[in-house]
A and B are shown apart, each in its own frame.
Chain A
């Protein structure tokens, strides 16, 4: 994982742990999906919104709908962070 991906994944992971109260942080790996980790539809929106806020990004929601796992989410966030 390159440093920028690692930085963004770190932000996402912190929000996953915050939203999914009681989840073991070790389970949050980049190939997992939020659904696999126990997130419901509202939890998923929270993770995305808070991560974008923490990174200072305004990401159109349509771009996030295709994300299948955390790696996809990180990729979308990274694309915006690079702009």
Chain B
């Protein structure tokens, strides 16, 4: 059954955007990187069994706090206190959330701001923090005194709520690499159901410890490439796994009438969303599930494949995952394959896990607003010559986008973006 949206549901628009990641600090830094096909993937300190490539963020917390202090001294003082001695993902998340709230005009005193909801996308966000504390305890020392508070991912929900002075509903939403999609799906439901008028979705940065790095390498999911020259990106014949990226990404979603009533500027519309399970818990991708998720998101938006201009693919660079997504796209787009454009933002940002879906939504909004398509940095020979992949950035008028997101555990999700 494909539920149709009753006319009484409000449209869900996006009024604020924020980003901190490998491409830089601030949403404009992401846009600039996408326009130039500039990949944040670079050599990082690896190990004998751990990948030597990554896309970490060069986030300077002190610079961010100093800039914030000049503009909003009270918020900066609160941030300084809130963000002392916390896992790094919370720092990046606060900066991205604040940027999105600021663009949306939702400062602490803005009418309607206190009821804003907060959904943090992701689980197990600070594995590196836990790893360090485990080391301390094993060595006979005390854990970090804040551990009992900040080890929980929900700490970020409270931190954003306190930073921005918001008192609406809040929670975390986890679905592995589809967590961003899960959080956006949940916010979309809240807004359509009238539970909130506005909700921030924060795709949290994921801080892997050496344990996760080795475990992904052991599964063959992480790219073993030792140098950039050897790296095959998503959809490239040399693809051999993902490259981990670090990014926090945020959007403010609003019920359109509420957004317009307060004079907010909608940047795009989240027209449809779907999140499905596959009756299997493992990492294997499933073409049927991916097809179902795409079709369901399109139906929820009241659109079909012929209405979509761009697919922002999940495409992480694992051979099985890339191949399955190509097969699912062939089914959904069939006769439209020669028209619809396809690109994979993870080639430029790395695979940012918890935040990946929100990063992809930001990438699509940038392309829709900026009149361009981003290309790839590590795509020499595509695995599928039927897909109309964007090789290098080019000018294009994009009105609609389908954003895929899949996660270990059998999660298949898709979002549909349309003009505001």
Binding site for B on A (CB under 8 A): 19-22, 42, 45-46, 49
**With an 8 A cutoff between CB atoms, is B111 at the interface?**
no
Of B115-123, B141-149, B248-256, B375-383, which stretch is located at the interface?
A: B141-149
- From 137 to 161 in chain B, residues with beta carbon under 8 angstroms from any chain A beta carbon are 142, 145-146, 148-149
| B80 is an interface residue with CB less than 8 A from chain A | yes
Q: How far is the CB of B284 from chain A (nearest CB, A)?
A: 42
Tell me if B84 and A21 are in contact (CB < 8 A).
yes
What is the total number of residues of chain B having a CB less than 8 Å from a CB of chain A?
Answer: 10
Does B85 interact with chain A (Cβ within 8 Å)? yes
Select B145's contact among A20, A22, A49, beta carbons within 8 Å.
Answer: A49
Contacts of B84 in A (CB 8 A): 19, 21
Q: Using Cβ atoms and an 8 Å threshold, which residues of chain B touch A22?
A: 77, 80-81
How many Å lie between the Cα of A20 and that of B81 in the bound state?
A: 7
Please give me the residue from chain B that is nearest to A22 by CB atom. Answer: B77
**B145 cross-chain contacts in A, Cβ below 8 A:** 42, 45-46, 49
Please name the 7 residue pairs, one residue from A and one from B, whose CB atoms are nearest each other, closest first. Answer: A46-B145, A45-B145, A21-B81, A21-B80, A49-B145, A22-B77, A21-B84
CB A19 to nearest CB in B, in angstroms, measures 8
Residues of B within 8 A of A46 (CB): 85, 145-146
Considering only CB atoms, which chain B residue lies closest to A19 in the complex?
B84
B interface residues, Cβ below 8 angstroms from A? 77, 80-81, 84-85, 142, 145-146, 148-149
Give CA–CA (A37, B84) in the complex, Å: 17
Q: How far is B147's CA from A45's CA once the two chains are assembled, in angstroms? A: 11
B148: chain A residues at CB < 8 Å are 42
Expressed in whole angstroms, the Cα–Cα distance for A46 and B149 within the complex equals 12
State in angstroms the CA–CA spacing of A45 and B84 once bound together: 15
A64 to chain B, nearest CB (A): 13
CA A19 to CA B81, docked complex, whole Å:
8
CB-CB under 8 A from A21, the residues of chain B are 77, 80-81, 84
In the complex, the answer to whether A42 meets B142 with C-beta atoms within 8 Å is no
Interfacial chain B residues near A20, Cβ < 8 Å: 81
19 contacts between A and B (CB under 8 A): A19-B84, A20-B81, A21-B77, A21-B80, A21-B81, A21-B84, A22-B77, A22-B80, A22-B81, A42-B145, A42-B146, A42-B148, A42-B149, A45-B145, A46-B85, A46-B145, A46-B146, A49-B142, A49-B145
A21 to B145, CA, bound (A): 16
